[in-house]
Amino acid sequence: MTETKPNFQLNDPKVIKGWTMFDWANSAFALTIAVAIFPSYFEGITAHQINPLGISMYNTTLFSLTVATAYLLIAFLSPILSGIADSSGRRKAFLRFFTTVGSLACMSLFFFTGEELTNGPMLALGIFGFLIGTAGFGGSLVFYNSYLPDIVTEDRYNTVSARGFMMGYVGSVILLIVNLLVITFPAKFGLPAEGTLAIRISFLTVGLWWIGFAQYSFRRLPKDSDAPFDLKILSKGYAEFNKVWQQVKQLPNLKRFLISFFFYSAGVQTVLALAALFADVEMKMDTNELIIVILLLQILALVGAWSFAKLSDRIGNKAGLVVMLILWTVVCVGGYFVEGKTQFYIMASAVGLVMGGVQSQSRATYSKLLPVGVKDTTSYFSFYDVLEKAATALGSFSFAFTGQLSGGMRVSVMALAVFFLIGLLILLKVKIAHARV
């Protein structure tokens, strides 16, 4: 490896706070744009049957395909960029780049207006603004996640990883509540009661929140290397990724975990990306009801992330993940049969409890399975993030395909249970040394 690691103290409270604050910053996009408000706004502002590029499809299908395309893009770029970051020591520079691009794309959605759109430049603005924003969000995570094993000792992986997710949940909920008040009572804020201005302002606030609070993280995280950037490093990105891949193939338990993670992430990320769309289309919930559901989900996710971190400390990370995957499978099967808003609230509550736990403990478990003394953590986490992004693309494509064929979203939700079952069966074969987990 050519990277020179910054000299800083492990378990430094200031560094940890800076790292967790990035979750506070970017989770606003994940909640407001990707989950709570934009999906239903997109479904409402476009015609049910649309014709992008002359191809007839449901608007929900186009949205699912946009999610899939964004994550395929990041899955393709991530190994190259993370290898470059490891070789050049410029991890923070890439983190800053993706944050800036993503937040600006998010703010561009303010100009996405119209009614019953079927095609044209305005539809393209909404699609590409969301796609680039999602790519910026996903691209930043590979560099953000890779800091974890470099800033804390192994005994703190579970708690610090959970703390990051908890900060994200708290920050995003605070902003979502503010946006909910503006959308519900626009006149109180000097906005017109009719139209979409209040909703579109929320897209601006998310972009500003994201790029604004990220500055705190940029100041606290370890500095990049001062070595000049050499264009030859571009070719090293592939070399670094291939080097880690050769090492992963020699580590059967790490390889099995990554395969398991790929399949169950296809389910997890697709549920999170398209849950609000399901509530809008199948449950006929309006924007205010959707936001309330998402707030409930986030609060329970906060509880779940911390609770499953403690549970995993007691029974082991593998056992904790097994419990959560069983619950995820039950949720997907139940999604097909759910009738009425009360049942949907119950299902959403279950999703909230396991949502934060499975994300936090997957990241912590992967950190613990890395070879002892590994230096190229960004490239290793590139595998993790590439699989997560590719899994999201697979899940979203399957969701779009089954939805287009069936004409609804219930069959699509049921189909996601297959991903959880496959992930569960493979995870059962993973052996993790007690000393590391």
Q: What percent of the chain has pLDDT over 70?
A: 92
Residue 298's Cα: distance from chain center in Å? Answer: 14
Query: What are 324's two structure tokens?
Result: 């959560």
Q: Give 160-208 pLDDT, tens digit per residue.
A: 887 887 898 789 889 988 998 999 899 999 999 888 999 999 999 999 9
Taking the whole predicted model, whether its pTM rises above 0.85 is answered as no
pLDDT at 264: 94
> Residue 313 and residue 137: Cα distance in Å, rounded?
30
Least confident of 53-62, 82-91, 144-153: 82-91
pLDDT at site 86: 65
379 three-state secondary structure:
helix
pLDDT above 60: residue 1:
no
**Residue 15 near residue 151, CB atoms below 8 Å:** yes
Question: How confident is the model over 412-421, as pLDDT tens digits?
Answer: 888 889 999 9
Are β-strands 57-58 and 49-50 bridged in parallel, bridged antiparallel, or unpaired?
antiparallel
pLDDT of 437 above 60: no
Domains and CATH numbers, the chain: 13-221+237-427 (1.20.1250.20)
Q: Which of 64, 17, 410, 36 is nearest to 270 (CA)?
A: 64
- Non-local (6+) Cβ contacts of 383 within 8 A are 79, 244, 245, 248, 258
